[in-house]
A and B are shown apart, each in its own frame.
Chain A
Amino acid sequence: MKFGVVILPGSNCDYDAYQIIKTIMKEEVGFLWHQDKDLNGCDCVILPGGFSYGDYLRTGAIARFAPIMQEIFNFAEKGGLVIGICNGFQILLEAGLLPGAMLRNSSLRFVCKWVHIKVEQENTPFTNNCQRFQVLKIPVAHTDGNYFISEEGLKKLKENNQIVFHYCSPQGEIDPVYNPNGALENIAGICNLKRNVLGMMPHPERVGEKILGSEDGKHIFSSIVNFVKGKAN
């Protein structure tokens, strides 16, 4: 299978995503330039972290108009796998591929730290290699990760099992104490109704090696590989 990592002006986790797929997962991966109008036959598109176009406006608000986004809309529409990490999640929200919006962190500051997230949905293309309620150790690094959605929207997310990750304790307890950014109900990641688009604030591409403090990010990428290669779901 083939992954495509989008490079937007200001992406800075593009290389990290590329590296984990290539050197750790040992899968095929290429970069996709923001002005491209072709996804080069990728099975999964990654919108990486960073500060696209500087994010001096609302995060992701400009990136949403990058030429390649049109291709990503079409791809997602046809059921293609899209994962937005951090800035990528923000872009997916701006693009309307996922519901809700990002507010500034409740601390009003950038926050980079280790957190734990609980896998609430294992029946997605991105989590099928995880156990339900498995806890992953993973870092966050962002200024705008305070996920918000209307009451009605939240109800729908819950009804349709779209909340994929919650911030939690190392033991899996969900409590505001373990919420790094004020996100509504500790929401760390969601998917769309068709479950082929995932947005998450924590960085799975940063945790693929023991020397970096955790290998839990591998579960996400191996799930995608499983799914595409037809081993799961």
Chain B
Amino acid sequence: MKESKVTLKLAKEHGLLKEEYEKIKKILGRNLTYTELGIYSVMWSEHCSYKNSIAQVKTFPREGKNLLAKAGEENAGAVDIGDGLAVVFKIESHNHPSAVEPYQGAATGVGGILRDIFCMGARPVASLDSLRFGELSNSRVRYLFDGVIRGVGDYGNCFGVPTVAGEIYFDESYTGNPLVNCMAVGIVKPNEMASAKAYGAGNPVLLVGASTGRDGIHGVTFASEEISEKSQKKRPSVQIGDPFMEKLLLEASLEIIKAGLLVGIQDLGGAGLSCATSETSARGKSGMEIDVSLVPLREKGMIPYEIMISESQERMLVIAKKGKEKEVQKIFSKWGLNSAIIGYVTDDKMLRVRNKGKVVAEIPADSLVLGGGAPVYTREKKRPAYLARTSKLDLFKIKIPADLNEVLLKLINSPNIASKRWVYEQYDTMVRTGTAVGPGSDAAVIRLRKTNKALAMTTDCNGRYCYLDPRMGGRIAVAEAARNLVCSGALPLAITNCLNFGNPYDKEVYWTFVECIAGMSESCRALETPVTGGNVSFYNEDPERKVYPTPVVGMIGLIEDVKYITTQWFKEEGDIIVLLGKNKEELGGTEYLKLVHNLVKGKPPVLDLDYEKKIQQTCLNLIKKGIVKSAHDCSEGGLAVALAECCFTSGNNLLLNAEITLSEDFRKDALLFGESQSRIILSLDEKDLLELEKTAKERKVDFTVLGKVGGKNLRINQWIDLPVQKLKERFYNSIPGIMEKKVR
């Protein structure tokens, strides 16, 4: 690669706008060098600068009890959970790389988020993935799906973190642009938490871990444009993952942090060295001087521009305490890793990059970063025209199918609802011996050694709801995540989010973005679960379509005592089945309407936050009283699907029947398959029913006795009568049936 003279044309080719180019020249008081252009173009890209989102993102409620690292302060959020422990967690997207190179795209997505966790000094204890693909009837989609699953699996499996939860939806809107959102959760002692700051003039700066190559150059710029036919050519922008290297980097990083040898540490992710040097300097209100000729390279002839923006994986920037650099290097060499002193901290707030002594870039560090000199825009917004069309749903025109058994079988066989076992059996879900509840129930549960506590975790977002009503969809995403945690016995603590949208310059897209954030914020406030960080991914479009607005919520909850751990499956014949909450005649946005009537229409179910909160508190209270044997949230597919799911326990072959009587006199399909919110199915011993009644009445929460565990088949009124074994087969065989089909 050769250096060129920087012109407006070249700046535009790097994705900078004319006014941005002019602004940079003004900051520097001169024209940019080629290296500086590289640095600014990646740092001011949408991906790094959040320039079109940060003004909105800042409206999220970010204050709460026990927060040790709030949104934007560090690489991930941290919450104190008592017993001398804190939980560190974050979610991030890797959509664009996965669209062109699914295996490496997904693998490096996992790797990137794990580094965000362990550079805080936390040991990763769980990994989650929220994924969206097109319809599986499309062969390219199957290729993407298969590649992403292998990528997620191979990285986490080799690294040694259990991948325990997540969600997968299939919808045409994600055909060319799948969503791959990876979340990681770690545990740290608060006094051993590391910070991503550089300060103390003269403190040495080390680059550790893998050597630097040409992989991932301009990855962030690529992430800041739509997927098109040209995208395949950007495959070199996709980084290559090495989970083995990451595992060594984990051990070495935790060792130097524990030994107290450093001032700060940050992982190298998007925008590589440019981002790590400028962000740590800006956070520490310092400057930094590095010489790229000291960076260990894996390729010949790399110019400073390339070294500064390479996104080679499995690297960390370490700011050591002066005099401790030898000890740091000794630990890295013990783990067989590179470590090179590439510069030192200064107090002039400048990022100065040299090449064999010669200055190739000299930039005020703060001018590069979010919250500093990076641009902030609020885009124009407009209520989407499609809403006028989609909001009209005339239920009178929708015929109730005669055979409701068939409908239930069809729903439970829909890849959106069917078991994701084919996926999670490719993930190591049990390594680290912490998994008390693995994939398949409402939330995963990781027990915390040496305490009586456990963490519950989940991800959630129904993109179809967000498409039909972004505000309500955003609200539901948070509330349902919280409900999932409550059903597993946890008190929801805080969320991280990954906001996946189309092009922000499209006014209608921007409107949905703003509305989703507003809806999520309402729920976060009501449920007292602040936002501790996350990620925004725009430009999720292919030439034919935009993705549904998909603000994925990753939520963490605390189970105070492992005896409160609850799963969704019925436990014993004779137990009473109770519905907490109320059935309503709502069919808009349901999986049933899409699957059976081919309609994506209507308003999603209405969520009343006060009521939701009461339901969640009541459920948790009942669990803590020790009378709840199973708890399951009603979601996609409605009451009928949820009841069926309660009948077959994952992990063993226990099958239980249920006899259910529903008495509401509205549309049968709405009663069975409607997706009304704030509903939880509980099972309990008959003798505990009085206690439940008392509690529910005190808390002014609706409840209905639905029936009993046992009998013959799953029976609901005269409408549903199906052998549980048959339902189970459809539930478990759906996805493998599609993916393992032999092609002639």
Interface residues in chain A, defined as those with a beta carbon under 8 Å from any beta carbon in chain B: 9-10, 12-13, 15-16, 19-20, 49-51, 53-56, 109-114, 139, 141, 143, 170, 203, 205-206, 208-209, 211-213
Complex A-B: 26 CB contacts under 8 Å: A9-B335, A10-B244, A10-B247, A12-B158, A12-B247, A12-B431, A13-B431, A19-B449, A51-B247, A54-B243, A55-B158, A56-B244, A109-B153, A110-B153, A110-B426, A110-B427, A111-B425, A112-B424, A139-B430, A170-B653, A205-B433, A206-B431, A206-B433, A211-B436, A212-B436, A213-B651
Q: Which residues of B contact A109 (CB under 8 A)?
A: 150, 153, 426
Q: Which of B387-431 contact A (CB under 8 A)?
A: 424-431
CB-contact partner of A54 in B160, B242, B562, under 8 A? B242
CA distance A112 to B162 in the complex (A): 10
Q: Mark B226-266, 1 if CB is under 8 A from A, else 0.
A: 00000000000000001111011000000000000000000
Q: Which of B124-166 contact A (CB under 8 A)?
A: 150, 153-154, 157-160
Considering only CB atoms, which chain A residue lies closest to B432 in the complex? A16
In the complex, whether B435 has a CB less than 8 A from a CB of chain A is yes
CA distance A213 to B653 in the complex (A): 14
CA distance A132 to B425 in the complex (A): 30
Q: Which residues of A contact B247 (CB under 8 A)?
A: 9-10, 12, 51
Q: Which residues of B contact A49 (CB under 8 A)?
A: 431
Q: Which residues of B contact A112 (CB under 8 A)?
A: 157, 424-430
- Contacting pair A19 B433 (CB below 8 A): yes
CA distance A209 to B432 in the complex (A): 13
In the complex, whether B336 has a CB less than 8 A from a CB of chain A is yes
In the complex, whether B447 has a CB less than 8 A from a CB of chain A is yes
Q: Which residues of B contact A12 (CB under 8 A)?
A: 158-160, 247, 431
Closest beta carbon of chain B to A180's beta carbon, Å: 9
- Contacting pair B244 A110 (CB below 8 A): no
Q: Which residues of A contact B428 (CB under 8 A)?
A: 110, 112, 141
CA distance A141 to B565 in the complex (A): 25
Q: Which residues of B contact A110 (CB under 8 A)?
A: 153-154, 157, 426-428
Besides A19-B449, A51-B247, 11 new A-B residue pairs in contact (Cβ under 8 A), listed by A number = A12-B247, A20-B433, A51-B244, A53-B244, A109-B150, A110-B157, A112-B424, A112-B429, A170-B653, A206-B431, A213-B651
- Contacting pair A9 B426 (CB below 8 A): no
Q: Which of B459-506 contact A (CB under 8 A)?
A: none
Q: Mark B551-574, 1 if CB is under 8 A from A, else 0.
A: 000000000001001000000000
CA distance A143 to B248 in the complex (A): 21
- Contacting pair A211 B651 (CB below 8 A): no
CA distance A143 to B243 in the complex (A): 15
Majority-rule SS of A interface residues = mixed
Known contacts A10-B244, A212-B436: A141-B158 contact under CB 8 Å: no
- Contacting pair A141 B431 (CB below 8 A): yes
- Contacting pair A206 B430 (CB below 8 A): yes
Closest 5 CB pairs of A and B: A12-B160, A54-B244, A51-B158, A141-B428, A16-B433
Known contacts A112-B425, A170-B653, A212-B435: A9-B430 contact under CB 8 Å: no
Closest beta carbon of chain A to B263's beta carbon, Å: 28
Q: Which residues of B contact A212 (CB under 8 A)?
A: 430, 433, 435-436
- Contacting pair A141 B430 (CB below 8 A): yes
Closest beta carbon of chain B to A172's beta carbon, Å: 15
Known contacts A10-B244, A51-B158, A110-B153: A211-B430 contact under CB 8 Å: no
Q: Which residues of B contact A211 (CB under 8 A)?
A: 436, 447, 562, 565
Q: Which residues of A contact B562 (CB under 8 A)?
A: 211
- Contacting pair A9 B431 (CB below 8 A): no
CA distance A151 to B216 in the complex (A): 49
CA distance A20 to B434 in the complex (A): 12
Considering only CB atoms, which chain B residue lies closest to A51 in the complex? B158
CA distance A56 to B160 in the complex (A): 16
CA distance A215 to B449 in the complex (A): 17
Closest beta carbon of chain A to B24's beta carbon, Å: 42
Closest beta carbon of chain B to A70's beta carbon, Å: 19
CA distance A190 to B449 in the complex (A): 32
- Contacting pair A114 B244 (CB below 8 A): no
Closest beta carbon of chain B to A65's beta carbon, Å: 14
- Contacting pair B430 A203 (CB below 8 A): yes
Q: Which of B636-658 contact A (CB under 8 A)?
A: 651-653
CA distance A212 to B434 in the complex (A): 7
CB-contact partner of B432 in A9, A15, A143, A170, under 8 A? A15
Closest beta carbon of chain A to B438's beta carbon, Å: 8
Considering only CB atoms, which chain A residue lies closest to B160 in the complex? A12
Considering only CB atoms, which chain B residue lies closest to A114 in the complex? B651
Q: Which residues of A contact B427 (CB under 8 A)?
A: 110, 112
Q: Which residues of B contact A13 (CB under 8 A)?
A: 160, 431
Q: Which residues of B contact A213 (CB under 8 A)?
A: 651
CA distance A12 to B435 in the complex (A): 15
Q: Which residues of B contact A139 (CB under 8 A)?
A: 430
In this complex, the member of A49, A51, A110, A208 whose beta carbon has the largest number of chain B beta carbons within 10 angstroms is: A110
CA distance A4 to B245 in the complex (A): 25
In this complex, the member of B153, B247, B335, B653 whose beta carbon has the largest number of chain A beta carbons within 10 angstroms is: B247
CA distance A212 to B158 in the complex (A): 21
CB-contact partner of A51 in B243, B426, B430, B447, under 8 A? B243
CB-contact partner of B336 in A9, A113, A141, A143, under 8 A? A9
CA distance A10 to B246 in the complex (A): 9
Closest beta carbon of chain B to A122's beta carbon, Å: 25
Closest beta carbon of chain B to A177's beta carbon, Å: 12
CA distance A27 to B690 in the complex (A): 48
Q: Which residues of A contact B652 (CB under 8 A)?
A: 114
CA distance A141 to B163 in the complex (A): 12
Closest beta carbon of chain B to A157's beta carbon, Å: 29
Closest beta carbon of chain A to B560's beta carbon, Å: 15
Q: Which residues of A contact B430 (CB under 8 A)?
A: 112, 139, 141, 203, 206, 212
Closest beta carbon of chain A to B439's beta carbon, Å: 10
CA distance A9 to B332 in the complex (A): 13
Closest beta carbon of chain B to A36's beta carbon, Å: 12
CA distance A173 to B336 in the complex (A): 47
Q: Mark B311-337, 1 if CB is under 8 A from A, else 0.
A: 000000000000000000000000110
Closest beta carbon of chain A to B49's beta carbon, Å: 35
Considering only CB atoms, which chain A residue lies closest to B150 in the complex? A109
Q: Which residues of B contact A143 (CB under 8 A)?
A: 157
CA distance A206 to B436 in the complex (A): 11
- Contacting pair A113 B243 (CB below 8 A): no
CA distance A213 to B162 in the complex (A): 15
CA distance A111 to B436 in the complex (A): 19
Considering only CB atoms, which chain B residue lies closest to A208 in the complex? B433
Q: Which residues of A contact B154 (CB under 8 A)?
A: 110
Considering only CB atoms, which chain B residue lies closest to A52 in the complex? B244
Q: Which residues of A contact B424 (CB under 8 A)?
A: 112
Q: Which residues of A contact B160 (CB under 8 A)?
A: 12-13, 50
Considering only CB atoms, which chain B residue lies closest to A20 in the complex? B433
Considering only CB atoms, which chain B residue lies closest to A23 in the complex? B449
Closest beta carbon of chain A to B630's beta carbon, Å: 17
Q: Which residues of A contact B565 (CB under 8 A)?
A: 211
CA distance A213 to B445 in the complex (A): 13
Q: Which residues of A contact B651 (CB under 8 A)?
A: 114, 213
Q: Which residues of A contact B653 (CB under 8 A)?
A: 170
Closest beta carbon of chain A to B137's beta carbon, Å: 22
CA distance A112 to B433 in the complex (A): 13
Closest beta carbon of chain B to A227's beta carbon, Å: 24
CA distance A50 to B247 in the complex (A): 10
- Contacting pair B425 A9 (CB below 8 A): no
- Contacting pair A113 B425 (CB below 8 A): yes
CA distance A143 to B427 in the complex (A): 10
CA distance A51 to B161 in the complex (A): 12
Q: Which residues of B contact A206 (CB under 8 A)?
A: 430-431, 433
Considering only CB atoms, which chain B residue lies closest to A137 in the complex? B652
CA distance A212 to B652 in the complex (A): 14
Q: Which residues of B contact A10 (CB under 8 A)?
A: 158, 244, 247-248
Closest beta carbon of chain A to B271's beta carbon, Å: 27
Closest beta carbon of chain A to B285's beta carbon, Å: 38
Considering only CB atoms, which chain A residue lies closest to B146 in the complex? A109
